[in-house]
């Protein structure tokens, strides 16, 4: 009796065969009514009960046959009003669809990965354990992130400000690519330096903290600058007028090399003098402020001049007529 009452509310819609539907209709139509007076079933009623129980057993056998057929293909599913689950053992995966928070999850054990699709914040996540990485796609702020533990790095792609970042912990560095101002930055902590590439004004900068120096390359005016704090000097290379300058603070001097008129200048503040080398007319000049004199060497007419202001005199050496003159 309990069996018949248990199946009374079972809907026949969705059963696999016409036989099953007929059995269920007969079972529902033959529900036994108890005697109102005694509360016991009569002999005729008990015979009906046996018939009904036989029908229920037949129905359960049909349902078991359907389950065995489903098991033979290694697939089963379960559905509610708000979510569904599919288990498939042939390729060995499972899928969950959930409509309340509106997402789906796929678990696949053959290549051993999982995928989550979530439409409310509108993103997706892939977990893959074979190469051991994860990927997040997020369309609301429109970016993606890759985590990879085998070479141990991460990558962020962001299309709203349009940049990408790579973090790599094995050699321990990071790289930023930014296309809006169009530049890139590399941070490397193992040798401890950083590099900036900027294509809009078209220059690059290297910062290196181990020997503690920096280098700027600028292609628009086409020059480079090196700053070095360990020996404490700087160098400027400029190819447009084609010259170079060295500033050195330890012995405290500077040197200018200029190839267009082809000369060089040295400024030295410790003994306080300057030297000019000029190859076009081919001469040199020394200015010395400590003893306060100057010397000119000229190879074209091949002579030299010394100006000395302390005793206040000048000397001219001339090798062509092979003589010298003293002016006091």
Which range (1-15, 157-171, 172-186, 269-283) has the least confidence?
1-15
pLDDT at 28 over 90: no
Residues pairing with 237 in the sheet: 224, 244
Q: How high is the pLDDT of residue 47?
A: 58
Q: How high is the pLDDT of residue 169?
A: 95
What is the domain partition of the chain in residue ranges?
A: 2-72, 113-327
- Phi first, then psi: give them for residue 71, nearest 5 degrees: -70, -25
Q: How high is the pLDDT of residue 76?
A: 75
- pLDDT bin (cut points 50, 70, 90) of residue 326 is confident
How many residues are listed for the chain in this entry? 328
Mean pLDDT over 192-211 rounds to 95
Virtual torsion, Cα 171, 177, 181, 187, nearest 10 deg = -10
Q: How high is the pLDDT of residue 41?
A: 52
Using DSSP's 3-state secondary structure scheme, residue 8 falls into coil
Mean pLDDT over 15-23 rounds to 51
**Non-local CB neighbours of 86 within 8 Å, separated by 6+ positions:** 75, 76, 77, 94, 95
Query: Tens digits of per-residue pLDDT, 30-65?
Result: 444 444 445 555 566 655 555 554 444 444 433 333
Query: Tens digits of per-residue pLDDT, 69-94?
Result: 333 346 777 766 788 999 888 889 99
Q: In the chain, what are the helix, strand and coil shares in percent, each to the nearest 5?
A: 15, 45, 40
Closest CA to 276 of 267, 264, 291, 268: 264
Of residues 279 and 14, more confidence is placed in 279
Question: Rounded distance, CA 286 to CA 119, Å?
Answer: 79
- In the CATH scheme, what is the code of domain 113-327? 2.60.450.20
Judge residue 27's burial from the number of C-beta atoms within 10 Å of its C-beta, 0-12 exposed, 13-18 middle, 19 or more buried. Answer: buried
Q: How high is the pLDDT of residue 125?
A: 95
Query: Tens digits of per-residue pLDDT, 236-260?
Result: 999 999 999 999 999 999 999 999 9
Please state, as a whole number, how many other Cβ atoms lie within 10 Å of the Cβ of residue 273. Answer: 19
- Phi first, then psi: give them for residue 275, nearest 5 degrees: -135, 135
Q: For residues 271 and 285, is the Cβ–Cβ distance under 8 A?
A: no
Of residues 22 and 120, more confidence is placed in 120
Question: Rounded distance, CA 48 to CA 23, Å?
Answer: 15
Closest CA to 236 of 224, 228, 254: 224
Q: How high is the pLDDT of residue 44?
A: 61
Q: How high is the pLDDT of residue 166?
A: 97
Which range (19-28, 157-166, 168-177, 263-272) has the least confidence?
19-28
The predicted model scores a pTM of 0.62
- pLDDT bin (cut points 50, 70, 90) of residue 325 is confident
Q: How high is the pLDDT of residue 54?
A: 46
Closest CA to 268 of 276, 260, 280: 276
Closest CA to 192 of 170, 171, 217, 166: 171
Which range (7-21, 79-93, 134-148) has the least confidence?
7-21
Closest CA to 236 of 264, 255, 259, 262: 255
Mean pLDDT (the chain) is: 82
Please state, as a whole number, how many other Cβ atoms lie within 10 Å of the Cβ of residue 81. Answer: 7
């Amino acid at each position: 009796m309990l069996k018949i009452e248990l199946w009374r509310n079972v809907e026949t819609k969705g059963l696999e065969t016409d036989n099953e539907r007929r059995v269920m209709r007969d079972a529902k139509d033959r529900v036994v009514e108890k005697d109102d007076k005694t509360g016991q079933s009569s002999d005729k009623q008990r015979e009906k009960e046996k018939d009904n129980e036989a029908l229920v057993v037949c129905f359960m056998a049909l349902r078991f046959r359907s389950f065995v057929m489903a098991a033979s293909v290694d697939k089963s599913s379960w559905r509610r009003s708000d979510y569904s689950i599919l288990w498939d053992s042939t390729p060995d995966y499972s899928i969950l669809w959930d409509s309340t928070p509106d997402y789906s999850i796929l678990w696949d054990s053959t290549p051993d990965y999982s995928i989550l699709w979530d439409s409310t914040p509108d993103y997706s996540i892939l977990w893959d354990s074979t190469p051991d990485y994860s990927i997040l796609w997020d369309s609301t702020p429109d970016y993606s992130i890759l985590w990879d533990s085998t070479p141990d790095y991460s990558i962020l792609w962001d299309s709203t400000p349009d940049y990408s970042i790579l973090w790599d912990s094995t050699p321990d560095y990071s790289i930023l690519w930014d296309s809006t101002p169009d530049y890139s930055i590399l941070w490397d902590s193992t040798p401890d330096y950083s590099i900036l590439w900027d294509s809009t004004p078209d220059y690059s900068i290297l910062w290196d903290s181990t020997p503690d120096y920096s280098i700027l390359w600028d292609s628009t005016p086409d020059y480079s600058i090196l700053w070095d704090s360990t020996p404490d000097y700087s160098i400027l290379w400029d190819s447009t007028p084609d010259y170079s300058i060295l500033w050195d603070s330890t012995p405290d001097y500077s040197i200018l090399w200029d190839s267009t008129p082809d000369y060089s200048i040295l400024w030295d503040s410790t003994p306080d003098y300057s030297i000019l080398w000029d190859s076009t007319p081919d001469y040199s000049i020394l200015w010395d402020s400590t003893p306060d004199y100057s010397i000119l060497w000229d190879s074209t007419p091949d002579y030299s001049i010394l100006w000395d202001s302390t005793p206040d005199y000048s000397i001219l050496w001339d090798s062509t007529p092979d003589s010298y003159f003293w002016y006091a």
